């Protein structure tokens, strides 16, 4: 399916924080591919977050550096300002998604077609998913609910569930299960997270790099961005 390969790996990281720069260095080192989901109206904003008992930088990359920082990777929408889309009017959902998509397309110099829903949990609801599907230029959209499965969700690209989240206790176990998988059917390992979570030490940079090294260089695996593996 993917250049004749039955297995594929993709990563998806949210919010467009400056820690993405270090993350991209790791991906480049091991030949891995990722999609980065950005909030275009938050670009350049500097702040902090308290996560896992630690205060960590939460600085968004500058708008004029987006193309340079993410060169070779896919950029996708994450809404303009990261609202919970549940309960938003149709007009606001369309504005948040479509204007973000258009802003990012202009910044990166190619059409943005992907998206990750903001807010996590059970955001979005079914109605918001349908609005995104019918009234924006988005062609796939990721949620945050891990499946621990590798089955390709061909009929569900506008409410796509990842396999695993980098801060989950069984993250590496899921990775190992995928690597050990022998399959005749298409199987996808879809990993998501936020790069600031490494600074919060939910998982260390060193441990994540070790796992990336474990995932890399497999002859039977296709490594691609979200768009490359889904579309």
The model's pLDDT over 87-123, given as tens digits with 9 standing for 90+, comes to 899 999 999 999 999 999 999 999 999 999 998 756 6
Which range marks the domain in which residue 158 is found?
A: 7-230
Q: What is the pLDDT of residue 162?
A: 97
Domain count, the chain: 1
What pTM value is reported for the model? 0.97
1 within some domain:
no
Q: What is the pLDDT of residue 121?
A: 59
Q: What is the pLDDT of residue 122?
A: 60
% of the chain surpassing 90 pLDDT: 94
80 within some domain:
yes
For the record, the structure tokens of 17 come out as 């924080």
For the record, the structure tokens of 210 come out as 């070790």
87 within some domain:
yes
The model's pLDDT over 25-75, given as tens digits with 9 standing for 90+, comes to 999 999 999 999 999 999 999 999 999 999 999 999 999 999 999 999 999
Query: What are the b/e assignments for 102-115, b being 16+ CB within 10 Å?
Result: bbbbebbeeebbbb
Q: What is the pLDDT of residue 68?
A: 98
Q: Interior CA angle at 176 toward 171 and 180, to 5°?
A: 150
Residue 68, number of CB atoms within 10 A of its CB: 9
The span from the CA of 199 to the CA of 57, in Å, is: 8
34 within some domain:
yes
Q: Return the CATH number at 136.
A: 3.20.20.370
2 within some domain:
no
85 within some domain:
yes
* Contact predicate 108/192, CB 8 Å: no
14 within some domain:
yes
Give helix 205-215 / helix 171-180 axis angle, nearest 10°: 10
């Amino acid at each position: 399916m993917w250049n004749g390969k039955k297995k594929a790996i993709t990563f998806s990281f949210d919010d467009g924080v400056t820690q993405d720069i270090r993350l991209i260095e790791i991906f480049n080192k091991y030949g891995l591919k990722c999609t980065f989901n950005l909030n275009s109206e938050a670009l350049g904003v500097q702040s902090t977050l308290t996560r896992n008992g630690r205060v960590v930088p939460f600085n968004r990359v500058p708008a004029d550096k987006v193309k340079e920082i993410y060169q070779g990777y896919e950029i996708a929408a994450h809404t303009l300002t990261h609202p919970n889309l549940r309960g938003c009017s149709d007009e606001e959902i369309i504005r948040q998604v479509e204007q973000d998509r258009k802003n990012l397309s202009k910044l990166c110099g190619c059409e943005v077609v992907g998206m990750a829903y903001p807010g996590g949990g059970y955001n979005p609801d079914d109605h918001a998913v349908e609005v995104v599907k019918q009234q924006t230029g988005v062609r796939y959209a990721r949620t945050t609910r891990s499946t621990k499965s590798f089955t390709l969700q061909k009929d569900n690209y506008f409410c796509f569930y990842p396999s695993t989240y980098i801060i989950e206790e069984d993250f590496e176990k899921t990775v190992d299960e995928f690597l050990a998988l022998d399959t005749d059917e298409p199987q996808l390992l879809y990993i998501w997270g936020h790069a600031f979570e490494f600074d919060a030490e939910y998982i260390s940079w060193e441990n994540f790099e070790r796992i990336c090294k474990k995932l890399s260089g497999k002859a039977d695996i296709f490594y691609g961005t979200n768009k490359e593996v889904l579309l």
